[in-house]
């Protein structure tokens, strides 16, 4: 369906709106797996998005609680971090890709203190309760927070 494709490509469009050219941008990505509670990377929209970012010249810094090592094809394109906040260090934006419950325990203070310019792209409003109303964070989600 067209609406599914539009939703899937929304993060790409948002990144391009914010940065124009992604070359040299460090983008944090929380969640790589197909869905929470699995370690499956097959058919993962997050993996496809990270590969696209790498093709655009960005450096995706990723965290996923179920992923301890990256497959060879991804290891050269992505930087895997063992902690969610480590993925934010030096990042221009955070993209919430897989909705792991662990991410809801990370507060706005930590995000604001770790990112140079706190920008959170959260298509499904998953972290709205913890990050969405903090004035230090530019919280961008579908239907809200456009440029």
Give yes or no for residue 107 having a pLDDT over 70: yes
pTM of the entire structure? 0.93
Please report the pLDDT score of residue 86 as a whole number: 98
Residue 99 three-state SS: coil
Please report the pLDDT score of residue 7 as a whole number: 73
Read off the pLDDT of residues 62-88 as tens digits, 9 standing for 90 and up.
999 999 999 988 999 999 999 999 999
Q: How confident is the model at residue 20 (pLDDT cuts 50, 70, 90)?
A: very high
Cα 80 to Cα 66: distance, rounded to the nearest angstrom: 12
Cα 33 to Cα 46: distance, rounded to the nearest angstrom: 7
Please report the pLDDT score of residue 8 as a whole number: 78
Give me the phi and psi of 120, to 5 degrees please: -120, 120
Distant-in-sequence, close-in-space partners of 84: CB < 8 Å, separation ≥ 6: 30, 63, 102, 103, 106
């Amino acid at each position: 369906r067209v609406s599914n494709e539009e939703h899937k490509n929304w993060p790409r469009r948002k990144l391009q709106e914010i940065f124009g050219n992604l070359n040299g941008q460090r983008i944090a990505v929380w969640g790589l797996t197909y869905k929470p509670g699995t370690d499956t990377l097959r058919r993962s929209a997050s993996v496809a998005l990270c590969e696209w970012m790498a093709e655009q010249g960005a450096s995706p810094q990723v965290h996923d609680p179920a992923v301890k090592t990256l497959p060879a094809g991804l290891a050269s394109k992505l930087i895997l971090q063992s902690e969610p906040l480590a993925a934010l260090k030096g990042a221009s934006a955070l993209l919430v890709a897989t909705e792991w419950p662990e991410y809801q325990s990370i507060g706005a203070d930590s995000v604001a203190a770790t990112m140079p310019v706190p920008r959170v792209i959260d298509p499904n409003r998953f972290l709205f309760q913890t990050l969405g109303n903090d004035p230090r964070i530019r919280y961008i989600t579908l239907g809200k927070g456009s440029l």
